[in-house]
Structure 1
Amino acid sequence: MVGTLIDGKAADMRVAMASVAARAGRVNEDFTGAVPAGAVLVDGAGIPGAEALCHHGVAWYASRLGAALLALLASGRARGLRELLAEAIERVTDAHRGSCAVADPIGPSATVAMLRLSGGVLEHLVLGDAFLVLDRPDGAPIVVTDPREVVISSAYVPALEAAGQGTEAYQRILNDLRAHRNAPGGFWLAKDDPRAAREAVTGSRPIAELSGAVLLSNGAARLADEFKTGWPEVLAVLASDGPAEIIRRVRQAEARHAVRPDDATIIHCTGLGEA
């Protein structure tokens, strides 16, 4: 399996990361990284035809957004995670505003999950269908995600299937679905408008109550979210065999259920608050 596995130590937490592209030879459009203050996962999203609007591409957008978030976390600035995400979106948008159609609805976008350790508290943020799982000693993990895109998209599936791909009706329905992106009553992603960060799901938890935290792209979270392996089992496998094993099992399940593979990325943080 082609991918990366990095083990290291970031201040008071130990970090293990794995990231694998959907298919061999395909660019991985996920990004993940950690600094002493926290960790970030960005899952890039693109729509066919976007290359004509932004020559940089989805992977560029995801990596630039992730790098900006890591830099802001490392800066130690006393601002909320939503504010940091808004600034990062603005920085990346400014970096290609002059050369790309940044406001076009089908331009590059991304979902985001991030955490920050601060004063004995773990703060977290999720925008879009990325996942953050807080592991607790009692074996009852807290799972954080933003289901709005999944819920809205699911409502359109019957009409899309009935219309048939390639038809005018299919395209009309698809355009209607896309109109919900970053719109009131719809679903929200990181794209060109920093105001999307206001819609992120946020929270905090005392570090003393946690034994670890995991950030997952939706492609990696499939093992629990789609293929119904329980989160306690996923966390146990992470603890014993690491994130690469979770991705290996995701690929096995995708093959077994004839599901199209997706980029899969995990960052597993343990030893929270240890000296």
Structure 2
Amino acid sequence: MRVAMATSVSAPDAVNEDLFLAGPGFAVLLDGAGTRGIEAICRHGVAWYTTRLGGELVARLAFERGPLTQLLGDAIEAVAATHRHTCDLADPSSPSATVAILRLGGGRADYLVLGDSVLLLNGSRALVVDDRREVAFRQPYQVVYDAAAEGSAEWVEARRVYIEALRANRNQPGGFWLAKDDPRAAAEAITGTLPIGEVTDAALLTNGASRYVDRFGLADWAQTLLTLKTLGPEEIIHRVRAAEQAAGVVPDDATVAHLASIAK
């Protein structure tokens, strides 16, 4: 398996809260989430959370063969145990992350997606694995928020309603699911398995990079895979940043990884 990866932070003075890790037979992509002022809830912050969760996942993927949902649940619990005594993990806005995992071995390609990162599998057939629950939940609130003039009373109220709705429905039935402090969230992930011989290459994208397709419509997923194979992950991010600038859209951390020669 050959791995090519590119990442870009949202702003020069910001910390990149995405994380990509890979080893023999596996790849993991995390996209951290949190609100402004999160240090009052968790003194460690979002980047710390993604790094710790990624480390716990890699340790398990390297040495354990259990179901991916079990490995993720165990990793979530392990991280929670390290800071439950210092941070308010019960607060809905404590650090969380989306998770995308691809594991290869034993003639299988096992995958898991939790949250709005995207996993592309290419080969005898193309498969897009994405979790649209948060996107679908956000959409009606986002429309009202975006329509209001920034700084106006309507904007302030729409933002308050938007944030409170996210807090109330994060990791709740009927809402959406992320890796946070409750290992039971792992059972809500989208999972599956393909024969490894059916997979030639794959890609993992955080939502800051998947904007290339699902927000700006610059290509479809098949064209995205072709661009990754011919021009590399940096080109996808370069095009996303150009589209953001043209549309006046605030940048997000963006990470893309392309895995090639999977079935060899």
**TM-score scaled by length of structure 1:** 0.90
Q: Residues 116-135 of structure 1: matches in 2 within 5 Å?
A: 116-135=103-122
Out of 231, 235, 240, the position equivalent to 2:221 is: 231
Question: Pairwise CA RMSD of aligned residues?
Answer: 1.5
SS of residue in 1 equivalent to 2:22: strand
* 1:69 counterpart residue number: 57
Identity of aligned residues (%): 51
Within a 5 Å distance, the mapping from 1:13-162 to structure 2 comes to 13-75=1-63, 77-137=64-124, 141-160=126-145, 161=147
Structure-1 separation of matches of 2:159 and 2:199: 46
Deviation at 1:175, TM superposition (A): 1.1
SS where residue 176 of structure 2 aligns?
A: coil
Alignment-mate amino acid for residue 156 of structure 2: G
Unpaired segments ≥5 residues, structure 2? none
Give the deviation of 1:237 after TM superposition. 1.1
CA positional deviation for 1:165: 2.8
Counterpart for residue 3 of structure 1: none
Could you report, residue by residue, the CA deviation over 1:60-82 in whole angstroms, capped at 9, with x for unpaired residues? 0011111111111001x221000
Match of 1:270 in 2: 260
Residue correspondences, number: 258
- Give the aligned partner of residue 213 of structure 1: 202
Distance 2:216 2:256 in 1: 17
| Distance in 1 (alpha carbons) for counterparts of 2:46 and 2:187 | 22
Shift of 1:172: 4.1
Q: CA deviation at 1:268?
A: 1.0
User: CA offsets, 1:80-134, max 9 Å, x none?
Assistant: 0000000110111111111111111111111000010021110000000000001
Question: Unaligned stretches of 5+ in structure 1?
Answer: 1-12
Read off the aligned partner of 1:204 and give its amino acid letter.
T
CA distance in 2, matches of 1:170, 1:214: 33
The residue aligned with 1:185 is 174
- Provide the rounded CA distance (Å) in 1 between the counterparts of 2:159 and 2:221: 36
CA distance in 2, matches of 1:173, 1:210: 40
